[in-house]
Amino acid sequence: MPRPLEQAVVVITGASSGIGRAAALRIARRGGALALCARAEGPLAEIAAECEAAGASVMRRALDVGEEEAVEAFAAAVTERFGRLDVWVNSAATMAYGTFDDIPSEVFRGVVETNLMGQVHGARAALRRFRRQGSGVLINMSSVWGRVPSPQVAPYVTSKHAVRAFSECLQGELASEPDIHVAAVVPQAVDTPIFEHAANYTGRQVRPIPPVLDPEEVAAGIEACAEDPKREVSYGRSGRALEVLHAAAPPLYRRLAHPSFVHGTWGRLPADAAPGNVLGSTGPHQVDGGWRGRRRAALRRAFFAAAGGAVSGILRKNS
Cα(183)–Cα(142) distance, integer angstroms: 10
Please pick, among 97, 156, 201, 253, the residue that the annotation labels catalytic: 156
The single-letter code of the amino acid at 297 is: A
Burial of residue 45, with CB atoms counted within 10 A of its CB: 0-12 exposed, 13-18 middle, 19 or more buried:
middle
DSSP state of 113: I
Whether 235 is catalytic is: no
What value, to the nearest 5°, has the Cα angle with vertex 70 and ends 69 and 75?
95
Q: What is the dihedral of CA 59, 60, 66, 70, to 10 degrees?
A: -70
The alpha-helical segments, DSSP class H, found in 188-249 are 194-197, 215-227, 237-248
Backbone angles phi, psi at 271, to 5 degrees: -145, 135
Q: Annotated active-site positions, please?
A: 156
